[in-house]
Each structure stands twice: as C-alpha cells, then as structure tokens.
Structure 1
C-alpha cells in the first residue's frame, strides 16, 4: 500500500528521451533512447511502463475515504433537508459518481493525460490555465478544512493558541508532500485504512454507550420549494472536484485494471463507503451528542466518544487526506504559474506556497467563506466534468488517438473555453440571485446541461486536434510544458 506522493514519484520518475531523425510528421516528436538525458512525466502522456499495480493505486486513492469532510457534508445536508432525504440523495450520488468516474477513470488510463493536459485540448493553452488554478484553489480549500479539524482537535485536547496549532498542522504536512519522509509514511498508510474503519465502528459504539441510541434524527422542514432528496443531491454535486481528483489518479492505472478501478477504486464501491458509511456514521453520532454540523461539532463528537483514540483517528486520517490535497494543489499551482508567468521553479517551492496560503486562510473565519468559495468553484468544476464527458463521448471511436497537447499546435483559447466560461458564469449568476429561489436550487443541473450542450456545439464548429497514441512515443516537456 502506497501513498499518492510515492506513487506519483514512481510513475513520474524520469525517462530518457530524445528527438528522432527528421521524417514526415515526426520531426517534433521525441522517442525514448536510453543514452539521452531524462525528463519528468508531469507534463507528458504517461507511458504504460510507468503505471502502478492495482492495489497500490487503489489504496492510495482510498485515503480520500478518511476525510472528515464527508461527515460534515452529510450532517449539513441532514440538518437542511432531513435524514431520509439525505439518504436518498446519497444513494443517487453514489450511483452517479460511480458511473461518471467509471468513464473518466477508463479514459485517463487509456490516454495517460492529466486534468491540465486534457484541458489544453478542451480550452486552449491559456484557457487550460484556469482549470489548473481552480483545481489548485479547491484543493487548498479542502486542505484548509481538513487541517483546521486537526488544529481544533489538538487545541481542544492540549489547549494553547489556535494560530500555533494551525502552523504546526501546516508545517508537519509539507515534508510529507515534498517527499522528505515518504519511506515511513508509506508504512503508515498500510495500517491507516483499517485504523480509520475501526475508529468509525468505535465512535458509534462509544456514542451509543455514552448517550444511548438517538431517538430524534434530523427531520425534513415543512414547505421545501424543491424535494429534499434533490436538494441533497445538489449539495453533493458541489464536490464534483472528486472527478478531477479521479482523473489525475486514474492515469497511473494499467489499462488491464480498468474494470477493477472503475468499480472498486474509483467507482460505486468507493463512494458507497465514502458517502454512505461516513455520512450515516456522522448523522448518528452528531444526533447522539446533539452537536451542530460544524467542524467543531465533528471534532467534539469524536473526542467526547473516544477521547485520545478519537484524537488519534482524526490526526492520522486528516494527515493522509491532506497529503493528497497539498500534492494536487502544488502540482496544479505549478502548472498555472508556468503557463501564465513562465515560472520554472522547483515543485517544493509551490508546496511551501500552498502551505503558506492555507495557513493564512486558517487564520480567518474559515466556514464563513469556505462554503461560498467552494460553491463558486463547484460551478466551474461541474461545468468541466460535463465538458469532459461530452468530449469523451464524441471521441469514443478514436481509440488510436489522444487529444493534442503540444503548444505550437493549439491556440491560446478554443471554442470550448467559451462554452466553459459561459456556462460557469451562468451557473454563478443563477446561484447568487435571490429573486427566483428555484433557479438558484437548480443552478448545478443547469450548469451541467449548458456546459455539455455548449461544448457539443463548439466541437461541431471546430473539432479539437488529436495526435497518435503510441506506447513508445513521449512528448518532450520543452514542447508541452
């Protein structure tokens, strides 16, 4: 079992490349030659030889199962629309997430592309920078939320100033992402998953022993304008960032493992445990203790139920999820800065930058703006997912080709960028207006439909270029970086 940073280091390990002899159509395509200098795969089509075993990738991805955010979302949904409606919304969410990520994970494994590289074809070279920025910002916000939970737990247990605990949480996480202590972290990840599962069972048992079986679960309020289960489903649409996470992870999978990954690793099995199990546990323990659905309430429920073991479960599970958050945030921030400002700084600089941004955000009233920021970014993310799915559907017969990612063969912007930005702007306006509540409620669904339809029209207008898929051909970072 392996952490994402370790997997990525293995999958993105340097490979020697050079340019072939000039020939028709091949003058700018480097081929692998053992005597030539090495370049990383971070901006390249990931070769099949660099893919990782199924269980290594699966266990790395299942680190996301341990995020406390899923407990918080379920409790917030239950308190807004009732427990029964939330359960129905979670069932529909598991089904749709499983289907969408089945498609995305298979495509990523076949093409070896990242979100940033696919976005080049969808939106153009400059347009794709926005995708990297939104991805990085969203990952930082999740790192802030998960890190804040650790800091709150440490402060409640040991006392002290929150600004100090925030600093501790950020500082100790950065070396894990930069790669300084991955050897012991790899061993830690081996027992983290069963520990977290044991922690979930223990917190339910302990809450029941201390408080008894809760007799009053959150009920649906009277007079909802939209069915509660649909509202709950829309709440979970706000975390479609998981689709982007899936894409960047899944490209490291082997093509022969597509069925396994599409069902277990990235599919409905993962989301059943992540949304349903975490969510039901969260609703149960929060109802048992009578706490509000806030980050402090989640921490109180674990500490009140399990004491020091509850602190241990929070510390380890949140450390694991933040390893992925900081890694993806730093990688995408690096891609954005390189594309827009031409900065070619080492990745550890961006790791520190993400940590600094996260710390400054932690010093503010996180939840007062976090949900609003995630709502806005969620609009862009759902639009991206819709466009990616339409693109995959329209190119489903091009089995021997992948999207073109070389800069000199792509424009700064493509018609797809107009569809993405236009649908996102419409989604944000619909979300923020107050005159028609129904319009605001259906903004996520409207965003998906407008983005998908707009990209289909843009695709018919100007089909994005493609390049041949060849296991022995890799694109030089000089060309695509």
Structure 2
C-alpha cells in the first residue's frame, strides 16, 4: 500500500494505522531485550562515578543526589521507551523529527562518537586489568580487547551475547558483593565510607549544595537516554508496560547507579591507597582478589561494551549513509568502528574522561530535553514514525536546531566559567547541565508550532 501524504487528518490517521499494523513478531522478546539492555548496567564507570561524587561532596550528599538521579532517570526513560517502542524510532530516526534530516546527522554522529568513546574507555579498563594481572605491553592488550569484542555484535554472535548477558549479570553483581566482603574482612568493616566528608577543595559554597552537584554530575551521562531509545525501538508494543517498569525504568537505575555507587564508595574508603578513578577501581579489584577480580572486571566490561560497539557502529552507519550516501555491509561499518576504537585507545583518552563527559553532556542533555519536550507536547496526537523515509522530512527543523544551538552555547559557556574565574568553577559544573536542559526545553516549547504535531514533516501535495 502506497500513501501520498497530503497533510489531511484522514491520511495521517491512515498512515499511523498502517504503521501500527507492523508485525510485532519481528521485534525482540521481552526477556532478550531486557537482558541485552541490562548489559549496560555493569560498567565500571558507574562504580567509579559514585566514589568520585562521595570524595568530592561527601557520602551523604552523594547518596541524596544519587536518589534524585535514579528518580529522574527512571521517569524520563519511561517516556522515551514508550515512544520508541510505539514508533519503532531510534535516535537517528527521531532526530529527523526535532532537527530535520540534516540536523539529525549531527545528532547521529555525536551519538556514534560518544558510544565509541565509551567503548574506548571501558575497553581500556579491561586492558589495564589484564596488564595488572599478567604484564605485557599496553597496546597488545588493547588489540586483544578489540579483537575479541568486535565479533560479539555480529549477527548470531550478538544474539548469543544477548542471552549470555542474562547469565553474566549474576556474576557481575555477585563479584561486586564478594569484593565488598573481601575488602571488609581484609581491611576491616568501619563507618568511614558512610561518614566521608566533602573535599574542601571543591567550591561547594559557590556551586551550590553537594547533592545538586552530584545530580548535575550524573547529567553528564544522559547519553543513557539515547541508549534507551535505540534499544527500546527493538521491543514489542505488547511489552511496553513491562519494559517501562522493569527494563528501562527505576529498577535498572537502582542496579546500575545505586548498587554500583554504594560498592564504589565502600571499596574506595575501605581499601588503603585505592585511587579514585576507573582504572584505580579495576586495578584495586585485581590486586585484592587476583584472578577473581580479573573475572569481575572482564565480565562487567565485556557486557557494557556489547552495547557500546553496537551503538557506535549502528550510528556511524546511519551517518555515513545519510551524509556520504555510502552503502556498505554492516560488517564493514563494524570493522571501521572497531578500527577507530583501537586507534583512539592508543591515545591518553582515559585522562580526559571528566572533560569529555562535560562537553558531551551539554550536547546530549540539550537533545534529551528537546526530545522529551516534543513528546510531551505531542502527547495523544498522531506522530511521524520510523518507517517513513527521509523524503518526508524537511532538511532543517528550525525550532529544534535553534533550541539545541542556544542551549549548547549557554552550557559550554557555563563550563568555561572556571577558566575565566576559578572561583566560579562550581557554578559551571553544577548549573551548566541544569541550565542547558531548561533552556533547550523552554526555547523548543516557545518555538514549537502547536497547530501541527509534525513540525519536521515535509507535506507532499
């Protein structure tokens, strides 16, 4: 059935009806999708960031900020997951709606680069753990990590690893629990990790309360919202409630952020001399637990990197096909992505994790705020969806692009306050991400055309 979009309500409703008749059986089962998604929960970064926040702002502030983070993440991702499943729309496809086809290319390459960056970062941790255990040159372990990670996202191997993630999750959770018990028995159970005070070097008085600074710090990982859309697009519509509640909702973030952060805080302030960095956490586990610690690190990072490699290659492919009109097999895009990952590993990229998080956090936070605003403004109305081709969309959606550019510019400016005046560093770090989200949402809402829910749709007459 071919439809000519005329812009009339009847035609739009017919298009929407046709789309919703799509075969749900082509999508992933709730168990497979849930286990594949929970692979993201095992990043050592989540262990590290909880400890880093406690070190900077004190355990109490870190926990309060963490609770607020879990609540907000769960709330937002319930909305994004439902929309992505209903419309089967990924970040690349949805960006056409809020930014236009040209603007969506920018969002796609940013998503691809961020996913690749995380693959580099998490892979470096595995390499560091192996080097700590067995020695040898760093580049060799980098190469080994890339070589064994690449096949895990290919065809049948990816389906296998999705299932395997369900078995690996208990190993990861059990490994961290074992690490806590091990550290407590070896170094003693004390309340030091609960009573950790804020680092006086952090300008809390200027930047705001420590719990708010913690919340803002976790906004730097709003890339998880983009991850949610790409994964949720694979789900069945009949499983929406399940995925909202169990896969992409609060339970996931209690495990990914809450559990990991508490473990990180305990280990950091229990193991003497443990460095508050992701490599420090991994090295501490291997040094303390030996081969068992290495297994925990290997399992956790392999699980998260299946997501990083998959999303990096998928969005790189989308960008290449849209911008350069290059049609290549999936395998080629995977290999290109893996080559980029290996080459970046050879650079001292781990040293710039906080700076990278701050910059990408601004871009991603603005996108998420615009996306959420658009979905809420169009709630209950007919929407464009993933099956429509690029020809149905304008090249530029001025509402989204203006909102994104304005919010990003303000966010980056606030991040630079510390360079202008060191006493204002706390202001930029705490209020930068929050201001970015507010500006993006408000500007988009003001520019949004309330008479048409399809602001980026090019009407054919």
TM > 0.5 between the two? yes
Q: TM-score, normalized by length of structure 2?
A: 0.88
Alignment equivalent of 1:74, drawn from 50, 67, 70: 50
Q: Which moved more, 1:96-105 or 1:342-351?
A: 342-351
- Which position in structure 2 is the counterpart of 1:459? 448
SS at match of 1:364: coil
Q: TM-score, normalized by length of structure 1?
A: 0.85
1:344 to partner: Cα distance:
1.0
Alignment equivalent of 1:138, drawn from 105, 109, 114: 114
- Which position in structure 1 is the counterpart of 2:290? 307
- Which position in structure 2 is the counterpart of 1:8? none
In structure 2, relative to structure 1, the CA distance for the partners of 1:124 and 1:72 (3 Å cut) is same
Q: Is the 8 A contact 1:99 1:267 kept in 2?
A: yes
- Which position in structure 2 is the counterpart of 1:224? 204
2:35 is the alignment partner of 1:59: yes
Q: Is the 8 A contact 1:404 1:466 kept in 2?
A: no
Q: Is the 8 A contact 1:46 1:113 kept in 2?
A: no
- Which position in structure 1 is the counterpart of 2:431? 442
In structure 2, relative to structure 1, the CA distance for the partners of 1:364 and 1:402 (3 Å cut) is closer
In structure 2, relative to structure 1, the CA distance for the partners of 1:363 and 1:401 (3 Å cut) is closer
2:157 is the alignment partner of 1:173: no
- Which position in structure 2 is the counterpart of 1:377? 360
SS at match of 1:292: coil
In structure 2, relative to structure 1, the CA distance for the partners of 1:403 and 1:467 (3 Å cut) is farther
SS at match of 1:181: helix
In structure 2, relative to structure 1, the CA distance for the partners of 1:127 and 1:20 (3 Å cut) is closer
- Which position in structure 2 is the counterpart of 1:341? 324
- Which position in structure 1 is the counterpart of 2:266? 284
Q: Is the 8 A contact 1:404 1:465 kept in 2?
A: no
Q: Is the 8 A contact 2:407 2:440 kept in 1?
A: yes
Alignment equivalent of 2:226, drawn from 224, 244, 251: 244
1:349 to partner: Cα distance:
1.6
Q: Which has the higher helix share?
A: 2
Q: Is the 8 A contact 2:42 2:304 kept in 1?
A: yes
2:370 is the alignment partner of 1:359: no
Listed as ranges, the gaps of 5+ residues in structure 2 are none
In structure 2, relative to structure 1, the CA distance for the partners of 1:319 and 1:46 (3 Å cut) is farther
In structure 2, relative to structure 1, the CA distance for the partners of 1:156 and 1:412 (3 Å cut) is same
In structure 2, relative to structure 1, the CA distance for the partners of 1:317 and 1:134 (3 Å cut) is same
Q: Is the 8 A contact 1:387 1:420 kept in 2?
A: yes
- Which position in structure 1 is the counterpart of 2:250? 268
For residues 196-239 of structure 1, the C-alpha deviation after alignment (integer angstroms, 9 at most, x for no partner) is 12111111111111111144333213462210111000010100
For residues 96-140 of structure 1, the C-alpha deviation after alignment (integer angstroms, 9 at most, x for no partner) is 001001111111111111111110011011100011011111111
SS at match of 1:199: helix
In structure 2, relative to structure 1, the CA distance for the partners of 1:23 and 1:85 (3 Å cut) is closer
Number of residue pairs matched by the alignment: 439
Q: Is the 8 A contact 2:150 2:335 kept in 1?
A: yes
Listed as ranges, the gaps of 5+ residues in structure 1 are 1-18, 32-40, 469-481
**CA distance in structure 1 between the partners assigned to 2:443 and 2:121 by the alignment:** 34
Q: Is the 8 A contact 2:370 2:441 kept in 1?
A: yes
**CA distance in structure 2 between the partners assigned to 1:123 and 1:395 by the alignment:** 16
**CA distance in structure 2 between the partners assigned to 1:119 and 1:460 by the alignment:** 17
**CA distance in structure 2 between the partners assigned to 1:128 and 1:296 by the alignment:** 34
1:149 to partner: Cα distance:
0.8
1:191 to partner: Cα distance:
1.4
For residues 355-387 of structure 1, the C-alpha deviation after alignment (integer angstroms, 9 at most, x for no partner) is 122112211222322321221111111111111
How large is the RMSD of aligned CA atoms in angstroms? 2.8
Alignment equivalent of 1:91, drawn from 42, 67, 70: 67
- Which position in structure 1 is the counterpart of 2:241? 259
Alignment equivalent of 1:426, drawn from 407, 410, 425: 410
1:278 to partner: Cα distance:
0.6
For residues 415-462 of structure 1, the C-alpha deviation after alignment (integer angstroms, 9 at most, x for no partner) is 111211221121111112223445413011110111001111221288
2:148 is the alignment partner of 1:211: no
Task: Flag as ranges the 4+ runs of structure 1 deviating above 6 A.
Answer: 21-26
